[in-house]
Amino acid sequence: MNASAQLSDEAVIPLLTLDPAAALDDLAWLDRAVGDARVVAIGESAHYNAEFLRFRHRLVRYLVERHGFSAHAMETGFVEGALVDDWVLGGDGELDEVMAAGLTSLMGLWTPIREHLEWMSGHNSHSENPVGFHGIDMPGSLSSLLSGLDAVIAYTGQGAHLREIAAAFSAESAFTAPAALAAYAALDTATRDALTAGLADLTAHLTANSLDLVRSTSITAYDRARRELATTVALDGMVRALARGDFRSMMFAREAAIADTVEWILEREERIVLTAHNAHVQRWPGSLPGSGPLTSVGLHLADRLGGDYLVVGTTSGTGRTLNTAPDFYDGVLFADLEPPRPGSLDALMAATHDGLFATDLRTLSPADAAVVDAVPDQRLGVQYSPVDARKAYDVLVHFPHVSAAEPDRAALAHAPAEVREAFGKWEPEAV
């Protein structure tokens, strides 16, 4: 692609604000794009950016209020997400604690998330069409089986011995995930195999005793327990793959398991909003350095849902983005975001318009479509990944500048000590 290429003015749909509480009229053009889609996926180029979080809050609100979507499915633990769903639907509990315990991988420690959950609760308190919440990812911030095992043990009364094995390598948070993996790798093969075999036995127990379990509880509780166990089994497989250095198999397992959970949610909700990283939701293979193409969640869902799956991707200009270097674990949470590389999808969008804007990739003129089709890659965080933009996304939203979201101090007070310590090192730089 020509480094100076840009889209025509006709392709630009200006967006007036990121304020989630503002009028929604500037999103009316989305009506045609959304149509009858049952899943609208909203991507983000990196986690924990204020602009991405506020935009998706606004778009979730639009889809709920204007199109009757009934659930928000978010890239966070499925098991833990039940706490959030209960709270937004009027359950007891303090929001500070729900944000810290009900959202994994640090997802609940930001003020835009508080604002979003408060909106969901407020909407549900007066609406005849409440909106629920679901996590879609593996439990324990991808580094501990304990929350998943605890949920299944509480339901079945089986599996306490497996908890003892899992506790030997469990992590309190995303900051101790490397230590958890090292602890798993240090386990002898027989212990690892005993855990995997025990999880298989638990799965067989749930299946064989389905009638009695449903009679003694409910079909809703039984179905949820099966999904909680399935995500826990998937995480065990992911950790096994990482321990043998097979990152590719780990990623394949994660993407497929997330897609299965989204499909599980869709069996219970008529229309859902899915929010996750661009790399997950795109209808295009993911890629990692030194690895071949990876089948994304979006490819799974496109295969299963066809036209019922709509993807809104994002690009960005300058600012701050999640730090993916090793010193992240020392509290350097964000890194500078340089102007996008010439020729990339982000550079094309940045050259097209100075402000916040969207473009509908399905309605481009032939000339604009040719410009987009010439783009070889997109930026995901600070890395670049191959992409065919019009196959990957239906709509793109460009953010000229992105910044670190504000930490939610009340939620942080309930986070593990290592999380509070890391945020304490970083926060003075963000003020």
Per-residue pLDDT reduced to its tens digit, 287-318:
876 677 999 999 999 999 999 999 999 999 99
56 closest CA partner among 119, 103, 7: 119
Find out whether 31 and 263 touch, Cβ atoms under 8 Å.
Answer: no
Count helices and strands (H / E) in the chain: 19, 11
Instruction: Report, in angstroms and rounded to the nearest whole number, the Rg of the chain calculated over CA atoms.
Output: 21
User: Three-class SS of residue 161?
Assistant: helix
Does this model's pTM top 0.75? My answer is yes
**pLDDT tens for residues 101-153?**
999 999 999 999 999 999 999 999 999 999 999 999 999 999 999 999 999 99
Q: For all residues of the chain together, what is the average pLDDT?
A: 95
pLDDT surpasses 80 at 233: yes
Question: CB within 8 A of 323, min separation 6: which ones?
Answer: 332, 333, 334, 335
Cα–Cα dist 47/106, whole Å = 9
- Confidence band of 2 (pLDDT split at 50, 70, 90): low
Residues 6+ apart with CB under 8 A from 272: 38, 39, 40, 69, 70, 71, 72, 73, 134, 262, 265, 266
**Tokens linked to 349:** 């969008």
Pairwise pLDDT comparison (171 vs 95), residue with the higher score: 95
pLDDT band at 3 (very low <50, low <70, confident <90, very high): low
Give 427's pLDDT tier (boundaries 50, 70, 90).
low
* Count of CB atoms situated within 10 Å of the CB of 348: 28
Mean pLDDT computed over 359-376: 98
Strands 39-42 and 377-380: unpaired
Write down the pLDDT at residue 290.
Answer: 66
Residue 178 has pLDDT above 80, yes or no: yes
DSSP 289: T
Instruction: Write out pLDDT tens, residues 49-86.
Output: 999 999 999 999 999 999 999 999 999 999 999 999 99
Residue 171 binned pLDDT confidence (cut-offs 50, 70, 90): confident
Q: Is the pLDDT of residue 430 over 90?
A: no
Assess whether pLDDT exceeds 70 at residue 428: no
Structure tokens at 94: 């303090």
Is the pLDDT confidence value at 431 over 50? no
